[in-house]
């Protein structure tokens, strides 16, 4: 039986979302095929093996369950091919076969954890170091999309240093190039953390200040009016696309609250598009997946305008895996139930 190390938590603004996703993943990995070793990373960066119930994860109570916490780290020594547990002052090496990083956002989805696992020589689920890093940084993603001819919203990017030096000029340029409304995003954050919609220059300034709380670099994009659709993609050399899903946000846009708290956004699976348009979105998802160097799995999000134009919104290399998350829902609608999906993802990691 293969051992799967499931990583959760992390030093990230999306720590709490990771706990929800990991709880579902741990409970649904086929127990007859895999031995699961849950490893949590606290908000301050401490690593622990957690031997308690995954139901303790979503509200953070796992850290209060001291009897089931065990200090451990991932070993960078390739001979170990796993983790080092610390029991009663003694270090014990335990080999693992594969790692499933259920880590959203910085220090988990951005190539940093992937780089550590590459050094350690341990197979892991999901995109490699370069693709993880490129897809996490929205400015890099947008630049690559432009290079590969993938249509997307008009955009500009700048960092905090440039903003401090000439804020008025940057805001004026953004308004002139993009028009209002403008979406302001931290370049490196997910789950819509720190994103705002600005309808004038005063709101734009406030939105930039808010986004700078999460990252030192921002991406500003023109507002696109159209359906918000999502495609789950899975595979290495031969990726496959799921059915297309559509999100109708309960808020003004699909922000953090709409995704994880309100639970009132409408989901349409399949999306309310013609058969030809559904196929076109799937094809564009595969194109973006390949262009960005993705492997394992990624959810690719788009806007579809009424005139049929398809615009890339963003890729998510470790999308949510909660009970209400779109990635597993889309593959379930494509005939791949949750447990089988996890099994396939683990096997893709081992194959690679």
* pLDDT tens figures, 206-243: 999 999 999 999 999 999 999 999 999 999 999 999 99
Strand partners, 235: 296
Residue 233: both structure tokens together: 């993609």
How buried is 52 (Cβ within 10 angstroms: 0-12 exposed, 13-18 middle, 19+ buried)?
middle
pLDDT at 322: 86
pLDDT at 47: 98
**C-alpha–C-alpha distance, residues 317 and 126, integer Å:** 7
Q: What is the arithmetic mean of pLDDT over 106-118?
A: 96
pLDDT at 324: 84
Question: Contact 124/99 with Cβ under 8 angstroms?
Answer: yes
pLDDT at 174: 97
Q: What is the arithmetic mean of pLDDT over 145-172?
A: 97
- Does the structure show a pLDDT above 90 at 93? yes
Assigned CATH for 2-124: 3.40.50.20
pLDDT at 101: 98
Q: How far, CA to CA in Å, does 97 sit from each of 124, 129, 304, 349?
A: 9, 19, 41, 10
Q: What is the arithmetic mean of pLDDT over 120-129?
A: 98
- Does the structure show a pLDDT above 80 at 244? yes
Q: What is the arithmetic mean of pLDDT over 331-346?
A: 97
Which candidate, 312, 254, 320, places its Cα nearest to that of 283?
312
Residue 87: both structure tokens together: 């029991």
Q: What is the arithmetic mean of pLDDT over 273-281?
A: 98
pLDDT at 252: 64
**C-alpha–C-alpha distance, residues 226 and 123, integer Å:** 39
DSSP string, 64-78: G-GGGEEEEEE---T
Which candidate, 337, 322, 164, places its Cα nearest to that of 242?
337
| Separation of CA 266 from chain center | 21
**C-alpha–C-alpha distance, residues 218 and 108, integer Å:** 20
- Does the structure show a pLDDT above 90 at 192? no
- 205-214, 246-255, 313-322: which range is least confident on average? 246-255
Q: What is the arithmetic mean of pLDDT over 301-317?
A: 97
Q: What is the arithmetic mean of pLDDT over 74-83?
A: 98
- Does the structure show a pLDDT above 90 at 341? yes
Question: Contact 235/290 with Cβ under 8 angstroms?
Answer: no
- Does the structure show a pLDDT above 50 at 262? no
Q: What is the arithmetic mean of pLDDT over 81-109?
A: 95
| Separation of CA 199 from chain center | 27
Q: How far, CA to CA in Å, does 65 sit from each of 69, 83, 238?
A: 7, 21, 43
User: pLDDT confidence of 91, banded at 50, 70, 90?
Assistant: very high
- pTM attached to this predicted model: 0.92
Instruction: Give percent of the chain with pLDDT exceeding 90.
Output: 90
Q: What is the residue-averaged pLDDT of the chain? A: 94
Question: Contact 313/225 with Cβ under 8 angstroms?
Answer: no
Q: Which residues contact 212 (CB under 8 A, 6 or more apart)?
A: 160, 163, 186, 218
**C-alpha–C-alpha distance, residues 221 and 212, integer Å:** 16
Overall fold of domain 134-151+225-351: D-amino Acid Aminotransferase; Chain A, domain 1 (3.30.470)
DSSP state of 147: H
- Does the structure show a pLDDT above 60 at 124? yes
User: pLDDT confidence of 254, banded at 50, 70, 90?
Assistant: very low
Handedness of CA 306, 308, 312, 317 (dihedral sign): positive
> What end-to-end distance do the CA atoms of the chain give, in Å?
19
Residue 51: both structure tokens together: 């031997």
pLDDT at 250: 72
Superfamily of domain 155-222: ATP-grasp fold, A domain (3.30.1490.20)
Domain boundaries, the chain: 2-124, 134-151+225-351, 155-222
Q: What is the arithmetic mean of pLDDT over 111-119?
A: 98
The pLDDT tens digits for 278-306 are: 999 999 999 999 999 999 999 999 999 99
Do the first three CATH levels of 2-124 and 155-222 match, i.e. the same topology? no
């Amino acid at each position: 039986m293969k051992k799967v190390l499931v990583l959760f938590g992390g030093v990230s603004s999306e720590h709490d979302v990771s706990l929800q996703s990991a709880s579902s993943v741990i409970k649904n990995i086929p127990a007859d095929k895999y031995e699961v070793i849950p490893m949590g990373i606290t908000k301050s960066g401490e690593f622990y093996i957690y031997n308690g119930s995954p139901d303790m994860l979503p509200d953070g109570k796992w850290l209060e369950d001291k009897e089931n916490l065990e200090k451990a780290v991932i070993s960078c020594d390739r001979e170990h091919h796993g983790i080092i547990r610390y029991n009663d002052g003694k270090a014990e090496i335990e080999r693992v076969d594969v790692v499933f990083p259920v880590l959203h956002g910085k220090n988990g989805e951005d190539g940093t954890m992937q780089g550590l696992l590459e050094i350690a020589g341990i197979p892991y689920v999901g995109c490699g170091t370069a693709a993880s890093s490129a897809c996490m940084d929205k400015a890099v993603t947008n630049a690559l999309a432009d290079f590969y001819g993938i249509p997307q919203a008009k955009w500009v990017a700048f960092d905090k240093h440039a903003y401090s030096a000439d804020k008025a000029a940057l805001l004026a340029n953004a308004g002139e190039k993009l028009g209002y409304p403008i979406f302001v995003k931290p370049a490196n954050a997910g789950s819509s953390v720190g994103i705002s919609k600005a309808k004038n220059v005063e709101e734009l300034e406030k939105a930039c200040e808010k986004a700078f709380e999460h990252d030192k670099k921002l991406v500003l994009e023109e507002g696109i009016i159209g359906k918000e659709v999502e495609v789950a993609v899975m595979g290495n050399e031969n990726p496959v696309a799921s059915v297309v899903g559509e999100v109708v946000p309960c808020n003004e846009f699909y922000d953090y609250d709409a995704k994880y708290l309100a639970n009132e956004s409408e989901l349409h699976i399949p999306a309310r598009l013609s058969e030809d348009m559904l196929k076109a979105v799937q094809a564009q998802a595969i194109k973006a997946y390949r262009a960005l160097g993705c492997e394992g799995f990624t959810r690719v999000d788009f806007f579809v305008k009424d005139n049929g134009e398809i615009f890339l919104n963003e890729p998510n290399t470790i999308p949510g895996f909660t009970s209400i998350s779109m990635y597993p829902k889309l593959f379930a609608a494509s005939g791949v139930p949750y447990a089988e999906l996890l099994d396939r993802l683990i096997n893709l990691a081992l194959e690679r």
